[in-house]
A and B are shown apart, each in its own frame.
Chain A
Amino acid sequence: MARIKFESVSKRYPNGFTALDDLNLDIQDKEFLVLLGPSGCGKSTTLNMIAGLEDISDGNLFFDGTVVNAVPPHQRDVAMVFQSYALYPHKSVYENIAFGLRMRKHPKDEIDQRVRDAAKRLEIEHLLERRPTQLSGGQRQRVALGRAMVRQPAVFLMDEPLSNLDAALRISTRAEIKQLHQVMQTTFVYVTHDQSEALTLADRIVVMRDGVVQQIGTPDAIYEQPHNMFVASFLGNPPINYLDGQLAVDNGAVTFRRGALSLLIPPESAGKLAAFAGREVTIGIRAEDVSEHGTPPAGQALGGRITSVLPVGSDNFLEIDVEGKQLFFRVGKEAHHKDGDNTVLTVNVNRLHVFDKQDGQSLIWQKVQA
């Protein structure tokens, strides 16, 4: 049980580098919160602060309403799983898992019970007597999970726990972590640079860049209503397409124009954009937000020459030259496209993203303080 609150928290190093700048974040009890961003964005710093492993330069950190800035890690009720697993090389698997409980002076038989329960749940019972060096990467990962699990902590912290696993194992372990969260009924804070992990696991995602929070929201909100171009391009695979152009307003109808291309902005968004007539903007179209069925209605047609067709099994990826810019779309396999063909796709204009070309902020999804 823990609600964690960051209040204007900053981290500055003596050499002047700011790792974290004015973080305000309220993590609910039992929430699964994912900190997402490229390396060096401050996400691990944030996690280490919750664990007590990193000093806070400015601001306050609360656990259930109590300031814990100066509480050392061993007096906080947190458990952590590390990217390198950080198992104790000189201890057996059993002792690795039991160590945290021993340090907290739990009775012997209770420790034994908890270690064996965790081992059973993680299917590592047969490994209990081994040393970490005798385990595979996936097994080590499970031991690290077990070590955190038996503690039954108020807060469960994970620092890129899946990064060192191979692709198949990463997907299956992801599902197990989600299950673990449901079973343990405790607050999870999870750091990753992998957007698909974040989208799968999170109740809420915090997107960070250069120590500054870019957006906080549910996976759907982050994906569908990105507040700026960084967030929009950090999530989604293949990445979102950007196209520079101008907004034109005519009788209340807002259109995006670039050369011969003209896309009609739907009325819901048009209201917000009417004030930006003549503004240089960048629109974002996700690869999946087009279709190739039927004749496109006016204001939704996107025509261009196919420069390459990349089959990926389930779909085809098309690279299309639109008004001098290469765009990347995902389409069905039915239409047999060939390199050099001209094609016209229908854009789902309801899902268009419009950003200010200067500062990259969304003109539709205004930044709301979370």
Chain B
Amino acid sequence: MSPINNQKARDDKDEAIVVSHLCKTYGPVKAVDDVSFTVKAGEIFGILGPNGAGKTTAVECMTGLRQPDSGTISLMKLDPSKDREALHAIVGVQLQSGGLQDKLKVGEILDLYQSFYQSPANGRELAIGLGLEDKLNAYYKTLSGGQKQRLSVALALVGQPKIAVLDEMTTGLDPQARRDCWELIQKIRDQGTTIILVTHFMEEAERLCDRVALIDNGRIIALDSPHGLAEEVAGGKRIIFTPSKPFKDEVLTKLPEVKTLEHRGRHVEVVGSGELVNVIVLTLSKLGIEAEDIQIETANLEDAFVKLTGHHIHQEEGVKPQ
């Protein structure tokens, strides 16, 4: 199936990341299967998918930790498999599986990682921004999972990278820490950093990402803005109301915003996109009809994902030879 890909040819200068036809196989498993996407400079690009979808493998190939089987990757014109040192000077990476020495203190670790870069940020300030101010003198071993995670984010950003790759950045964080992380990411992006955000957390993707690639079984099954995906894939908005008087369906179905209309007893259910509520209320009121008990359901990324993966499974069944 072809990915829903709204990308157009862009000016080369804007492209921070170009991944094309990336493949990586472990034994019989195609972990990453012909993945292509382009990320503009200053964009927050989400890679969203269930566990085992191939997100981490893709990220490991992009950061030079794994050699792809085929396909090309370029980050700021650098090839991760050939220009490792140059790449790591400008790309900050936060991995799920990176450890630190138990008996080093948080402040010592930050100073250490800060010393790796030519024009670093202040590591301790970054950590304070992430709510670790009480922990600078604590051993790494004594940190909670969420605190280790936040330190990890700080270490990925301490080199003032041009690109930051964050793998499951907020997993295991409490809501406040999660919001702190989001704020920091937005701040970093406003300073011009391009961000790859790997997540299986829909709200995070909706809130932060300019565009999202939905990955399932190693393939990109959709790529668009979170809003665009929700509208296009999951059917956008659903409005249920009770009209004060009966009316002809075509009054509403001829509107460009309306996709479908169904009657459910006294209620009318309309699915569509755009300024759906206003348009319906306005159109009906011109005919002297009131829309009462209006309920609005907005489709989100999660709906889009369920719909896409559901569709995917369905198609596989349909393809069976006998």
| Chain A complexes with chain B | no
